[in-house]
Structure 1
């Protein structure tokens, strides 16, 4: 039986000793490959056009995946592989969830500054997000901020209503999101929607691949294509860190830069 693109990419990493065989990861890879098939089967751009006289209702989008488990079990790397092997006909966005929410707050700020601003801007923002990316792949999905919690249901309601699909990693089960947060009852309807729209999948296993060097752990983060071959260094004291940092930036010019944060605010930093 011919392996699908995602399964072949995963097997290639094992063959090259970049990953070790892991039954928990293999089960998730199979499920992610099935989701890719489901996305292709319901992708408007890849479906044959129906006959003019034949009425055919569009297929509903598949359920996404909410992947959670202990740190170092390979969630990020497998999600990277999923995103990197999606067919080009399926638009997608792979990003850290915090960066995504920064983008949403920036769009909200721009919408409220518009002279034509009226109503709930989250609905058109959600539709615009879907128009850009049918599949949203998030790393480290979490809710720790009341400002984020207040907008989740309206924002993702618009994305899901348009046909968007979410694949996300997290260290928490959905029931643990925003636990003990202020006004948590506000976010509970979103958590219920999340579990209805996404299959909740736990990645088992107790080994932390980040520490064992087995190559199955978090890797390079969102958009890293799995972080294959990356070297990680752990500093045991501040002086060792300062020496390594000095060697890395030696001879380079320090520049002042601005990093955008929520709304119109910017953070000034110096770096090379």
Structure 2
């Protein structure tokens, strides 16, 4: 990480930024995030003790090949609905816990799909609902129905309205011949109950279940597999000093940032982080408000996507959400956020080795 040189501007405050995002950017940004730019099936390292991971790579490689097998060499016929060979199921669903590499595999599928980047889309469930909100349902269908593949990462079951909305969108796209792929997290404490998440997903998307092949991916969170415990928070003085000498850093008090997030639509959180090389937060405290917690989850996802290290003082990330929240209906979101923020805090240790 570069340090500030003489005359360099100091850190910015995310809590003062008010990004504006063009609708066209919402569509153009539906590609794998920077963290997954270089991933491929060959770079996925299966856990030798989890044969389902190796099996998933094989099945997804075959799925990607099936997209190529039916392609007419004439560009006008690339997206024909009736390939020469018998079609594979129209979609795949990756069911598994946190940190087993589902997003890596989903992004690898996107990269392996034989289509121009403007004819394949990759986004989280939240990003897809934001797209529908910005464009309207019919325009969203029109924007995506010519795609060869649409990938939805972290399909959510928390909001019935959004779930039905996206399910309807996927139904329209599937009818138009678009192939689909999705991931979701199995609820904590239920990893041994088979395909709990897959069953819920398929029930919620109603008539789409027959179009999906469910792939179970077992394993432990790779972010903690064989790694040390997450670093403990630093002091306010250490956070401030490191931010001041880190080029492209942001520096905020935690309370000011969480209050500001309430004034920015979550679809703009990616733009909020534009140009930021590292995030520094002073005085992190435990969150007890659900709305605040959910906004922070979205920000954590955008920071993780962009591989932005996070250095903090105050409450450690494993106590960021209350026990009540971690036992509630949004617990899968909170566990994912803790896992990702912990990884980013570990990344931040290289910013100042002397601390």
Provide the TM-score with structure 1 as the length reference. 0.61
- Cα RMSD, aligned residues only: 4.2
Whether contact under 8 Å (2:243, 2:250) holds in the other structure is: no
1:201-258 deviation digits (Å, cap 9, x = unpaired): 11123x32211148xxxxxxxxxxxxxxxxx993433x35873475245465869999
Partners of 1:270 and 1:35 lie apart in 2 by 34
Change over 3 Å in CA distance of 1:150–1:236 after alignment to 2: same
Partners of 1:254 and 1:210 lie apart in 2 by 25
Partners of 1:267 and 1:74 lie apart in 2 by 22
Compare relative contact order (CA 8 Å, sep 6+) and give the higher one, 1 or 2: 1
**Is 1:78 equivalent to 2:78 in the alignment?**
no
State the partner residue of 2:232. Answer: 236
Residue 68 of structure 1 and its aligned partner are, at CA, apart by 0.8
5+ unaligned residues in a row in structure 2: which ranges? 1-38, 187-196, 252-259, 277-355
State the partner residue of 2:148. Answer: 134
Change over 3 Å in CA distance of 1:77–1:244 after alignment to 2: farther
Change over 3 Å in CA distance of 1:153–1:209 after alignment to 2: closer
Whether contact under 8 Å (2:156, 2:163) holds in the other structure is: no
**Is 1:68 equivalent to 2:79 in the alignment?**
no
State how 1:8-23 maps to structure 2 within 5 Å: 9-11=40-42, 14=45, 20-21=47-48, 22-23=50-51
Classify the secondary structure of the residue corresponding to 2:215: strand
Alignment: residue pair count: 210
Q: 1:200 aligns with which of 214, 217, 222?
A: 214
Partners of 1:149 and 1:65 lie apart in 2 by 17
- Of 190-199 and 88-97, deviating more is 88-97
Partners of 2:81 and 2:161 lie apart in 1 by 38
Q: 2:71 aligns with which of 43, 55, 58?
A: 43
Whether contact under 8 Å (1:41, 1:47) holds in the other structure is: no
State the partner residue of 2:312. Answer: none
**Is 1:96 equivalent to 2:124 in the alignment?**
yes
**Is 1:154 equivalent to 2:168 in the alignment?**
yes
